[in-house]
Amino acid sequence: MEKVGILFPAYNEEKNIRGVIKDAKKVLPNATIVVVDDGSTDRTYELAKKEKVIVLRHFVNKGKGEALKTGLDFFRRAGVSYVIVADADRQYSIKDATKFLGALKNADLVTGYRIPSDVPYANRMGNFIWRLLFNFFFDVKLKDSNCGYIGFNKKALRKIKDIHGGYIIENAILADAIRKKLKISQVPVKVKYRKRRIVKFARMFFGVLFFIVKEGMKYRLRNF
């Protein structure tokens, strides 16, 4: 029987953590659920433990990238067939996890793509520019290059190790998958947005842009 894992990196998500775990149990009742509490200062750890799932803990905040590494390392050792990564803040609907499992039957890495009408204008424009450049540099035709809803099969779990922190996580995972010639697929996902400050969004936009151009140029020089 194929073993499925669900990974929730979490930082100060006491308002959402129990709800997202309950939702995951309903959607994939046989999955192994792992929460990585990344140094939360609220009750995230205690509330997750009450849901009787596996909770791994960083005693200081290390960032989402390190939380992903901790969770994925756990699932590599556990020998699961598939891992689905979703945000603990319920930005994405865990109901869409079943789409990932279906797509992972024929792909190594599956990412979500957001419907443009669900995305605020500034984010939509940022996503459009990132995707345009990513597709150009890496010679692919992705519908979304920056979605944090991601599924891995065993092969992807074993091969993808280039996981960064900050806002470039998703692009770094996709770039690593392309470099290692993994098969990538995408599925549509529902998304809800929190308001972001303009300064924070600008820093994120230019940080991701710089990463795509830098890594994309390296890729093209090696492969063309």
The per-residue pLDDT for range 57-106, each reduced to its tens digit, is: 999 999 999 999 999 999 999 999 999 999 999 999 999 999 999 999 99
Q: 82-85 and 150-153 as β-strands: parallel, antiparallel, unpaired?
A: antiparallel
pLDDT at 202: 77
User: Does a structural domain hold residue 123?
Assistant: no
State the sign of the Cα–Cα–Cα–Cα dihedral 114, 116, 122, 127.
Answer: positive
Q: What is the mean pLDDT of residues 193-219?
A: 81
Q: What are the φ and ψ backbone dihedral angles of 37, each rounded to 5 degrees? A: -80, 110
pLDDT at 116: 87
The string of pLDDT tens digits covering residues 18-66 is: 999 999 999 999 999 999 999 999 999 999 999 999 999 999 999 999 9
pLDDT at 189: 96
N-terminal to C-terminal alpha carbon distance within the chain: 42
User: Does a structural domain hold residue 20?
Assistant: yes
User: Does a structural domain hold residue 54?
Assistant: yes
Q: Six-digit token pair at 28?
A: 């994939």
**Domain total in the chain:** 1
The model carries a pTM of 0.92
Spatial distance between the Cα atoms of 104 and 106, rounded to a whole number of angstroms? 5
Could you tell me the residue range of the domain that residue 170 belongs to? 4-115+144-193
Domain with 24 in it: what CATH number?
3.90.550.10
pLDDT at 117: 87
User: Does a structural domain hold residue 92?
Assistant: yes
Higher pLDDT, 164 or 88: 88
Q: What is the mean pLDDT of residues 196-217?
A: 81
The string of pLDDT tens digits covering residues 117-156 is: 888 888 889 999 999 999 999 999 999 999 999 999 999 9
User: Does a structural domain hold residue 186?
Assistant: yes
Spatial distance between the Cα atoms of 84 and 4, rounded to a whole number of angstroms? 8
User: Does a structural domain hold residue 13?
Assistant: yes
User: Does a structural domain hold residue 103?
Assistant: yes
Band (pLDDT 50/70/90 cuts) for residue 199 is low
